[in-house]
Amino acid sequence: MSDNEKKSGFKWFEKLKKIKHIEIYIAIIFIVILLLIYMSNFSNSNADNSDSSSDNLTITAYIDRLESNLEETLSNIGGVSDVKVMITLNMSDANVTDSTINLNEFPEIKGVIVTAKGVDNTATKLKVLHAIEAVIDINNGNIEILSSE
């Protein structure tokens, strides 16, 4: 370091020492920096929460959504009415945290039970079975269709 650099650094330090209540100014600057860091983290966590809430559902909400969609679809089949659906999931492979599931990793459907009026006819029962197989990738041995009449 040259003598000029040492003198200019020393002059700057001397000017800084002459400022009254410099500790207060440093504390205020430090608090402002901390607040800025906190606010940036707070806004990032809000953005993350809004994204994750659209990608995550509670387990019961996920099952309810599947069941209601399947009930609505099956009730549109001719001759079928009063459809009730129960779906069970294989939760051993699911990514579950705090009773929510990540919709990017769907848990495997273990079984489906359907009760409805009008499925005592074999042709109608087969239509319902094929509709379930088309919507859900599940072995037909894990699907049970019962008449509610």
Q: What is the pLDDT of residues 13-51, one digit of tens each?
A: 677 667 667 677 777 888 888 888 877 766 655 555 444
Which H, E and C letters describe the chain, residue by residue? CCHHHHHHHHHHHHHHHHCCCHHHHHHHHHHHHHHHHHHHHHHHHHHHHHHHHHHEEEHHHHHHHHHHHHHHHHHCCCCCEEEEEEEEEECCCCCEECCEEECCCCCEEEEEEEEEECCCCHHHHHHHHHHHHHHCCCCHHHEEEEECC
pLDDT of residue 51: 44
74-107 pLDDT, tens digit per residue, is 998 888 899 999 998 887 766 666 566 666 666 7
pLDDT of residue 1: 56
